[in-house]
Each structure stands twice: as C-alpha cells, then as structure tokens.
Copies of this chain bind each other. A is one copy, B any other.
Amino acid sequence: MLKEERQQFILNEVRIHNKVLLTDMADLLNVSVDTVRRDIKELDRSDQLKKVHGGAVSLGFNNYNPIGKKIYSLEKKALIAEKAMSLIKEGQIILLSGGTTNLELARRLPSKMKLTCFTPSLPIAVQLLSKTNIETIFIGGRLSKDSQITIGGSAINMLSEIKVDICFLGTNSIHPTEGLTEFDWEIVQMKKAMIHSSRKVVSPCISEKIGSMQRYKICGAEDIDVLITELEPWDAKLEAFKNMNIQLL
C-alpha cells in the first residue's frame, strides 16, 4: 500500500468521524503507530487535519475535550442515538440542535429514509450531506466557534417561522426540579426558540449530565416530552423523572 493511499484513508476517516485514534488507524492499516504518527504529522504540516495527542481531528471541528475521553462517552451516545432513531418515522420533519449526541444520531439516519431535517449545527449539516433522501435546511445566523452552531437574532428569527414534528434537543444539564440549563446565554435563546417551534421535544442526555445544573434556564424538566439516556429504565437516577409525564427511553 502506498503512503499516499494510507494518508488518504486517514484523511477520509477524519472527514467521516471528525477524529481518529492513532491506534485504530495503525490497526486498520496494518502499520505501526509510528508510521501513522508520521503520516498524521505530515498531514498536519500540510494543513489537512489537526494533530492532537492520541490521534487527529478534522480542521475546524475542534474537540476541546481530550480525544480518549470522547471515545469513551461516544459509546453511550451511540446507544442513545440508537434509541432516538426509534422515534423517527418516514416523512417527518425534525429539528436537530447541536451537540455530539445529535451528531451521532445524524450519522445513523438511514440514507434511504425520506426526512426533512432542520439544524443550526455545522457538523450535523456536513453529516447530512451524504444522506441522499434527507432534505436538510440549515438555520442561518452567526456561527459560534466553540459550539459550532449558529446563534443570534437571525437564527432565532428563522426558527420562529417553522414548526416541526420532533425536536432533538442536545442537553448539557438536566435536573428534576431546575429543568434544563445551559452555560451560554445565546444558546439558551436558541434552544428556547427550538422548543417553541416543535410539537414534541426529545432530550437525549447521557447519565453524567443528569442532576447537573448551569447558569441559565432553558425550560422545566416537565416541558420535555421524552428523555433518552443510556440507562436502563429502572435506574435510580431516573426515579425523579417518573411522575412527570415524561417518556423515558
């Protein structure tokens, strides 16, 4: 196998997953990690990806958390995404907020399923490009560099003009009494607008985030219709949500 092929492969993996692990690449390509490291170093020097400790990430899609940890919670997010899939039916209009869990969901949407999909998230839009039967409508606005979604008046304005069947609301913090909270004020505004534009609100949320709280409130826990976690339905952490008319998945 040519060096160029290998590098192309790595680049391709990065394009698809937004990140790669050195060890995975070494495994898949049957070369030593040193070689992959050298390849990634070259690709980094030629600005085709960004080298990070343990692997590489695609340019622009900055992974602020270390890559190893990310992979770990990725499994939970994958599980949540699988569950979320069961809520989606052919022909529906859905709205995907940002966040890596929703990105996992977007990745899993079958190419053959006819859907209309609104999103303010750049990585999700990129992911949806490859799904031939999904019509993607991007919510325009000012791009926030760290969350990689559009925010601001123009985006909220565009949201105010739509009504979708289901909104998958990437959730950073959820608390039985305090509800859904966020660190960033502008994102709060976006999420409020999203809830307002949706008939049904689904909150995919990994268990670590249950019970946590941040500065600004988006809505009460009772305002969401479905809570999806990677936990089994009888888990203690979910107890507090059981008499709230929330469907637990």
Which residues of A come within 8 Å of B, CB atoms? 2-5, 7-8, 11-12, 15, 19, 21, 47-48, 52-55, 57-62, 64, 66-68, 107, 122, 125-130, 132, 135-143, 145, 148, 150, 154-155, 158
Interface of A is mostly: mixed
Q: Is the CB of A54 within 8 A of B2?
A: yes
Tell which of B5, B11, B68, B135 touches A64, judged by Cβ atoms closer than 8 Å.
Answer: B11
| Copies of this polypeptide in the complex | 2
Q: In the complex, how many angstroms separate the beta carbon of A68 from the nearest chain B beta carbon?
A: 5
Q: In the complex, how many angstroms separate the beta carbon of A25 from the nearest chain B beta carbon?
A: 13
Q: Is the CB of A8 within 8 A of B142?
A: no
Given contacts A137-B141, A158-B140, contact A130 B60 (CB under 8 A): yes
Given contacts A8-B62, A11-B62, contact A67 B129 (CB under 8 A): yes
> Could you tell me the distance between the alpha carbons of A145 and B58 in the complex, rounded to whole angstroms?
21
Q: In the complex, how many angstroms separate the beta carbon of A20 from the nearest chain B beta carbon?
A: 9
Q: Is the CB of B3 within 8 A of A54?
A: yes
What chain B residues lie within 8 Å of A58 (beta carbons)? 66
Q: In the complex, how many angstroms separate the beta carbon of A145 from the nearest chain B beta carbon?
A: 6
> Could you tell me the distance between the alpha carbons of A2 and B12 in the complex, rounded to whole angstroms?
18
> Could you tell me the distance between the alpha carbons of A7 and B57 in the complex, rounded to whole angstroms?
12
Q: Is the CB of A143 within 8 A of B138?
A: yes
Given contacts A2-B53, A64-B15, A138-B150, contact A129 B145 (CB under 8 A): yes
> Could you tell me the distance between the alpha carbons of A67 and B5 in the complex, rounded to whole angstroms?
18
> Could you tell me the distance between the alpha carbons of A60 and B21 in the complex, rounded to whole angstroms?
26
